[in-house]
Amino acid sequence: MSEQRMQQQIEAACAHIAQHAESVRHSRYRQRYHFMPQCGWLNDPNGLIYFKGKYHFFYQYNPYSGFWDRMFWGHAVSEDLLHWDYLPVALAPSEEYDDHPKGGCFSGSAIVIGDKLWVMYTGTCNNGNGFEQSQCVAWSEDGVQFHKYEGNPVLTAPEGVRPDCFRDPKVWEHDGLYYMVCGASRDGKAQALVYRSADFLHWEFFNVLAESRGEWGYMWECPDFFPLGDKYVLMFSPMGGGERTSVYLVGDFDYETGKFQWSTSGENDWGFDYYAPQSFLAPDGRRIMVAWANSWDWMPTWKDWGPTYREGWNGFFDLPREVRLLPDNSLQFLPVKELRALRRDPQFKDVLELQPDQEQSVTAGDGVAFELRFTLDLEHTDAEQVELSLRCGEGRRTVCTLDLKHSMMYVDRNNSDGWSRGVSKSPLFVRDKTLLDVHVFSDQSSLEIFTSDYTTNHSLNVFASDAQNGILLCARGGGARLLSLEGYGLERTFC
Ligand code: FRU
Looking from the CA of residue 292, the nearest atom of ligand 1 is: 7
Omega prior to 153 cis, within 30 of 0: yes
Evaluated on CA atoms 30, 121, 269, 226, the torsion sign reads negative
Interval between CA 227 and ligand 1 midpoint (Å): 24
Q: Residue 132: beta bridge partners?
A: 125
- Give CA–CA dist 352/481, Å, rounded: 6
pLDDT at 80: 98
Q: What is the pTM of this model?
A: 0.97
Interval between CA 44 and ligand 1 midpoint (Å): 6
Amino acid at 377: D
Q: How many C-beta atoms surround the C-beta of residue 34 within 10 A? A: 21
Instruction: Give the single-character DSSP code of 433.
Output: -
Q: 219: Cβ below 6 Å to ligand 1?
A: no
pLDDT lower than 70: segments of the chain:
1
Looking from the CA of residue 44, the nearest atom of ligand 1 is: 7
Q: 122: Cβ below 6 Å to ligand 1?
A: yes
Looking from the CA of residue 106, the nearest atom of ligand 1 is: 10
Q: 222: Cβ below 6 Å to ligand 1?
A: yes
- Give CA–CA dist 106/99, Å, rounded: 10
Looking from the CA of residue 68, the nearest atom of ligand 1 is: 12
Q: 168: Cβ below 6 Å to ligand 1?
A: yes
- Give CA–CA dist 340/129, Å, rounded: 51
Q: 170: Cβ below 6 Å to ligand 1?
A: no
pLDDT at 1: 54
Asked if 368 and 349 count as a contact pair (C-beta separation under 8 A), the reply is no
Decide: helix, strand or coil at residue 259: strand
443 is catalytic: no
Are β-strands 40-51 and 313-314 bridged in parallel, bridged antiparallel, or unpaired? parallel
Decide: helix, strand or coil at residue 14: helix
Interval between CA 108 and ligand 1 midpoint (Å): 9
Which of 204, 185, 161, 49 is CA-nearest to residue 194? 204
Q: 299: Cβ below 6 Å to ligand 1?
A: no
Q: 323: Cβ below 6 Å to ligand 1?
A: no
| C-alpha triplet 472, 476, 481: angle, nearest 5° | 70
Mutation choice for ligand 1 from 91, 222, 224, 268, CB with most ligand atoms inside 8 A: 222
Q: Residue 235: beta bridge partners?
A: 224, 248
- Give CA–CA dist 155/152, Å, rounded: 8
Q: 246: Cβ below 6 Å to ligand 1?
A: no
pLDDT at 64: 98
Interval between CA 170 and ligand 1 midpoint (Å): 13
Looking from the CA of residue 183, the nearest atom of ligand 1 is: 9
Q: Output helix, strand, coil percentages for the chain, rounded to the nearest 5.
A: 10, 55, 40
Mutation choice for ligand 1 from 41, 134, 221, CB with most ligand atoms inside 8 A: 221
| Positions of E strands within 159-317 | 161-174, 177-186, 189-197, 204-211, 219-228, 231-239, 247-254, 259-267, 275-281, 287-292, 313-314
Q: 30: Cβ below 6 Å to ligand 1?
A: no
Amino acid at 214: G
- Give CA–CA dist 332/260, Å, rounded: 21
From edge to edge, which strands make up the β-sheet containing 161-174? 161-174, 177-186, 189-197, 204-211
DSSP string, 129-166: SSSEEEEEEEEESSSSS-EE-TT--SEEPPTTEEEEEE
Phi first, then psi: what are they for 17, rounded to 5°?
A: -60, -45
pLDDT at 121: 98
- Residues 235-293 have pLDDT tens digits of 999 999 999 999 999 999 999 999 999 999 999 999 999 999 999 999 999 999 999 99
Interval between CA 396 and ligand 1 midpoint (Å): 33
* Spacing of C-alpha 330 from chain mean position: 19
